[in-house]
A and B are shown apart, each in its own frame.
Chain A
Amino acid sequence: MNVEKREDPGMSEQERQRAPTDEFAMNTTGSMDVAPKLQSEGLRAFFGKNEALHGIDFSIRPNKVTAIIGPSGCGKSTFLRCLNRMHELTPGAKASGQVLLDGGNIYAPKIDPVLVRRRIGMVFQKPNPFPTMDIYDNVAAGLKLTGMKKGKNLDDIVKNSLQQASLWDEVKDELHKPGTSISGGQQQRLCIARTIAMQPEVILMDEPCSALDPIATSKVEELMVQLKGTYTVVVVTHNMQQAARVADFTAFFYLGKLIESGPTASLFEKPREELTERYLTGRFG
């Protein structure tokens, strides 16, 4: 995997001003020792005429948990949804700039967003299992509906995915009960299993625990840490403690901009930006 640093000739004034911060971020994190799994360059997102993201340059390292924190409305969910081209499904929503997956731009003209989403899966805020399917079919849904089940042993994939999502032991005797019959925390792990069954490379999670109780939350958090062995995990959270617990790297977004990013410990202990420090100490947001 050979990824060279891309220079964007069309850098805006704003981005030029931000550039030194990024250089600094790279120096402290030493991030260039591995090629990024996902990398956004000048990523801007719009809702109609509203600009929600003002040019984000950010690298996500493979097989790590990266957390995105920030106050409500800062664009963290929008950023996440741009990473697998879900953003553009919202009526009136658009994105510009580049997102590189293993160095290839997923916003290139000939790229089919549907195929991108098969490589970059997503778990949502509220558990959303398919209500008309049983647990087994929920996990197999992706493979069945994309015609990718050919020549594969569905039973094995379903079992494997549920095991990876730490749900197998709880549901193995009731695989044919409706997906909505289990508890909220189990449903969320079912949704994670459903995503895993597609064997993606990256799993995006959009506040996956905000609808869950503390016990279910801690299970999903454990899961995130386990999953990074196989996948690259990006999680949006409004819970700073959660970021501190699970994330190897953390990025702080504010008003549609990336303010600061780095290894979680150093970002939390000695933030470089005053905004970050004020947010972390609860003085706004």
Chain B
Amino acid sequence: MSNYAVRRFKDRLFFFLGIACIVLAVLPLGSILLEVIVKGLPTLSLNFLTTVPGPGGANVGGIGPAIQGSLILIGLTSLIGIPLGVLSGIYLAEYGDAPYARVMRSLNDVLTEFPSIVVGLTVFLVVVLKVSGSVGLGFSPLSGAIALSFILIPIVARTAEEAIKLVPNALREASMALGVRKWRTTLSIVLSVAKAGLVTGILLAVARVAGETAPLILTVLGNTHFFEGFNEPLAALPLQIYQDALSADPGIQARAWGAALILILVVLSLNIVVRLATRGRMGNSGRK
């Protein structure tokens, strides 16, 4: 009986240790969120969300261009990066036994961990600079989207590969045994079953990209005006936060907190919208 009591005590002990670890891990996240909400919330108003930033002092203005710029960047990056990333993931998962694919996979893994400032620098040299040997797009939305795609593609590719590999081989065989061609099997059977995993991977990557700052400094530069064209510098939320946080003006510092809160909300609402939009329609492979 005493043996049982000891074992029950151990069981409880490990249960509470587990809970303590979770609390410890979530604590910093919670405090960051709290801080951002407490300091960001007072700045929010319709005016703040829709006007251009002011010079400071009495006229702080808003972060309209930064919100617009971030949405443009996220859109362009998704347009370039998601198809390429998902296609790479399909290749790695369905044809990944070839030696070439193994090399690709390890390069892809390296790229996933790549310092984003190096990505920014590379795109700056190869795409932005208007010299011979460079594409010469200048500081522009497209340059920024290309840099962010470099970060997005490997993450999407890796998570897509994992999601596709989880699809039971029995389903591929069932389709092939009906005389369906392999590409059609992949598109219509495998991808639809892997959809939940694909969407999760894409959302993680987009969230990561939405908060990137370093590559944007070197590719879109920042702007205090709304979108001015595809050959002009663009504002973005992370850039706004970075620049405003360095300011000595308390009003502008508060603007940084407001922008930080909006950035978090943009990523969060994107998450919710995509989840709702892709739920129910066939893709309930995760649930019964």
Binding site for B on A (CB under 8 A): 84, 86, 89, 91, 114-119, 121-122, 124, 126, 128-133, 141-142, 145-146, 178, 180, 191, 194-195, 198
Contacts and interface: CB of A to CB of B under 8 A. Distances in A.
Nearest to A115: B179
Nearest to B177: A122
B205 to A, nearest CB: 23
Given A145-B185, A180-B288, A130 B179 contact: no
Contacts of B175: 130, 141, 145
B97 A91 contact: yes
Contacts of B277: none
A198 B174 CA distance: 13
Given A86-B176, A129-B174, A130-B174, 7 more contacts: A114-B179, A114-B180, A116-B179, A130-B171, A131-B193, A132-B195, A141-B175
Interface string B262-285: 000000000000000000001111
B57 to A, nearest CB: 58
Interface in B147-186: 168, 170-171, 173-181, 184-185
Interface in B80-100: 97
A133 B184 CA distance: 15
Contacts of A191: 174
21 contacts: A86-B173, A86-B176, A114-B176, A118-B178, A124-B177, A128-B171, A130-B189, A130-B193, A131-B285, A132-B189, A132-B192, A132-B282, A145-B178, A145-B185, A145-B189, A146-B179, A146-B184, A178-B284, A195-B177, A198-B178, A198-B179
A114 B181 contact: yes
Nearest to A116: B179
B188 interface: yes
Nearest to A180: B288
Contacts of A126: 170
Chain B: interface size category: 20 to 34
Interface of B: 97, 168, 170-171, 173-181, 184-185, 188-189, 192-193, 195, 282-285, 288
Contacts of A121: 177-178
Nearest to B191: A132
Given A131-B285, A145-B184, A145-B188, A117 B193 contact: no
Contacts of B285: 131-132
A128 B168 contact: yes
A124 B173 contact: yes
B180 A145 contact: yes
A142 B179 contact: yes
Nearest to B97: A91
A86 B182 CA distance: 12
Nearest to B195: A132
Nearest to B168: A128
Contacts of A118: 178-179
Contacts of A119: 179
Which of A86, A145, A180 gathers the greatest number of chain B CB atoms within 10 Å?
Answer: A145
A163 B284 CA distance: 28
Contacts of B170: 124, 126, 128
A142 B181 CA distance: 10
A89 B173 contact: yes
Which of B170, B173, B174, B180 gathers the greatest number of chain A CB atoms within 10 Å?
Answer: B174
Contacts of B181: 114, 146
Nearest to B281: A132
A117 B174 contact: no
A117 B285 CA distance: 27
B178 A117 contact: yes
A86 B170 CA distance: 12
Contacts of B177: 84, 86, 117, 121-122, 124, 195
A277 to B, nearest CB: 35
Nearest to A137: B282
Contacts of A89: 173, 176
Contacts of B173: 86, 89, 124, 128
Contacts of B174: 124, 128-130, 191, 194
A119 B177 CA distance: 10
Which of A86, A118, A126, A132 gathers the greatest number of chain B CB atoms within 10 Å?
Answer: A132
Which of B173, B174, B177, B189 gathers the greatest number of chain A CB atoms within 10 Å?
Answer: B177
